[in-house]
Amino acid sequence: MKDGDYLFKRILSGLLVSAMLTGSVVYLTGCSNSQNGSDDNTSTNTSTEYAHADKIDNGTILQCFSWDFNTIKESMADIAASGYTALQTSPINACLEGENGGMQLYGDGKWYYHYQPTDFKIGNYQLGTRDEFKAMCDEAEKYGIKVIVDVIANHTTPTTSAVSQDLIDAGGGSLDTLYHKNNAYDLNDFSNRLACTTYKMGGLPDINTERTSFQDYFIEYLNDCVACGADGFRYDTAKHIGLPDDPKEDDGFTNNFWQRVITEVNNADNLFIYGEVLQGNNERIADYIEAIGHTTASTYGSKIRGAITNNTLSKGTVSDYWLGDAPLNMVTWVESHDNYINDGNWYNMTKEQVILGWAVITARKDGTPLFFDRPYYSSVENEWGMNRIGTEGDDMYKDKSVKAVNFFRTAMIGEDENIVNPNSDSTAVMIERGTKGAWHIHFVVNEIGDTASIMQKAWKKGGIYAVEIRNEPKVYDEDFSKLAAYMTKDEHTKEIKKDGTPAKPRLKETSYNTSRNMPLKKPHVDKLVRWKNEVRPRKGYYIISIHEGINPVTGFKYRRYTMARFPEPKRKVQLKRRI
């Protein structure tokens, strides 16, 4: 089977993604009833080469983990051609320069140093300058790709001597006023909301995000990102910044950080903003969704990883987002960079299994899937691969199956979903999207060399699902009668249900044509007054099937039979050995 790279409305689309190590199978089928794809909430940019959702909510996000700005810019064509609507950068703020500026992901340098801010200004030694960031955003705009910036407002680097004076001044003039009073305590009880939002977590000093002067300074940083071309933000450690009704220190400030950064940033109405809210221990995810707009769905990612690795893709596990009554405004993932690195998913899941999980979450109606691209040349034996900050990640982000499901998602925007385990088999899950009413085309062609591949490249109006007839029981039998019946069915055709009764016709309008370039002999007609009781095949042929009946129109008897040529016997070759 070959996967079509482009899936658009009006085309019945099919995709099969399989993981050989687990035996799990995901089937995706979709059929959109939109004839022009231009209704308000389902519009897509259907340029000659790319099709992206106009809104990030409806598309997919590529997490360019530790790629620098120039690398992302140079990879933009591949990102667009792979069907992503947006890309997400690593944090672009000034950061701790550890190991004398070493550029390994782990070793002589650390990937997480850009998660240790020293100031909130664009540019750092790991990813590039402000000018390079802006050039990257300009390139993204050419391809219709949105840019999401990973931002950190909750903490600074623990190396406080590296914190800039500008940031200290914005925090009240000293390190003591920049941080919460409770910063002296280490966070151990995540269920305690005061501790969760004011204590030091993992040794990272906790910024007093309620201080008005700090908020002003941080909003300036956000606005500079927007001015350069940013289309949204991901807030790291969002659940450690207080909600309006959370308990707080007695310092005269109020918990209004979220209200200000969501509403006062430039172009606020058009930005896609989500917060990292890891579930468990009184995380208040529904309230964070209301305050921010979107959050992560970490429990769902965990359930999907477990389902894939345990080969149990049950409908219940796949369908439940594990958000309770919260709105389904969430970013989903198979794995995040924290899962990959801190939870050991780099050796727990193969790349093929990750792609299988991606097919599940991306085919679904709700959520905005995020694809974490693993380090280049990494494997279950090698966590860091080439171990270099700045370079492009693994090619898995542009794998043909990833691309196909990305475009499938775009094509199915606004369509409902139906999740089933075929024949109650939990090792296979089928995600159906869409309704009846779409045009689709079937044709039979000889596979001579790369015929199917040529057609896929030439057909620009939709996806192509190719299958060898002999490997498809639905349409293959000895005399090709199944294939003929399938190709010629019309609006009157009634399929037989499992109980033996006829179903309602499924097609509204049909037509079919024979080949236009294959010369056919004019059929020879014999008029017989009577026929022999026994049908005798021609020499070298045998009878496959025979049917006799009475024509309901003419009232005359008729006989129909099919002959097939015996396979030619294999020639025996005698080998004479000369000594």
Spatial CA neighbour of 14 closest among 282, 397, 296, 412: 412
Count CA atoms within 13 Å of residue 560 on its CB side: 6
Contacts by 139-143, CB closer than 8 A, 24 or more apart? 139/73, 139/76, 140/72, 140/76, 140/87, 140/229, 141/229, 142/76, 143/50, 143/76, 143/77, 143/79, 143/80
Contact 264, 219 (CB under 8 A): yes
- Catalytic status, residue 276: yes
Spatial CA neighbour of 412 closest among 12, 79, 5: 12
* Rounded Cα gap, residues 243 and 287, in angstroms: 8
List beta partners, residue 273: 233
State the pairing for strand pair 330-333/368-372: parallel
Gyration radius of the chain's alpha carbons: 30
State the pairing for strand pair 541-550/428-434: unpaired
Contact 207, 261 (CB under 8 A): no
Q: What is the largest CA-CA distance in the chain?
A: 111
**Run of H or E residues at 232:** strand 232-235
* Rounded Cα gap, residues 25 and 155, in angstroms: 43
Q: 68, 150, 276, 383: which is the annotated catalytic residue?
A: 276
> Cβ contacts of residue 65 below 8 Å, gap of 6+?
90, 111, 337, 372, 373, 374, 375, 393
What is the length of the chain? 579
Contact 64, 387 (CB under 8 A): no
Spatial CA neighbour of 91 closest among 285, 256, 237: 237
Q: 141, 176, 236, 395: which is the annotated catalytic residue?
A: 236
Contact 431, 31 (CB under 8 A): no
* Rounded Cα gap, residues 379 and 318, in angstroms: 26
Contact 274, 149 (CB under 8 A): no
Contact 85, 60 (CB under 8 A): yes
- Catalytic status, residue 141: no
At 289, list the tokens. Answer: 């969704």
* Rounded Cα gap, residues 181 and 163, in angstroms: 18
DSSP 112: G
At 215, list the tokens. Answer: 């908020």
The residues assigned a catalytic role are 236, 276
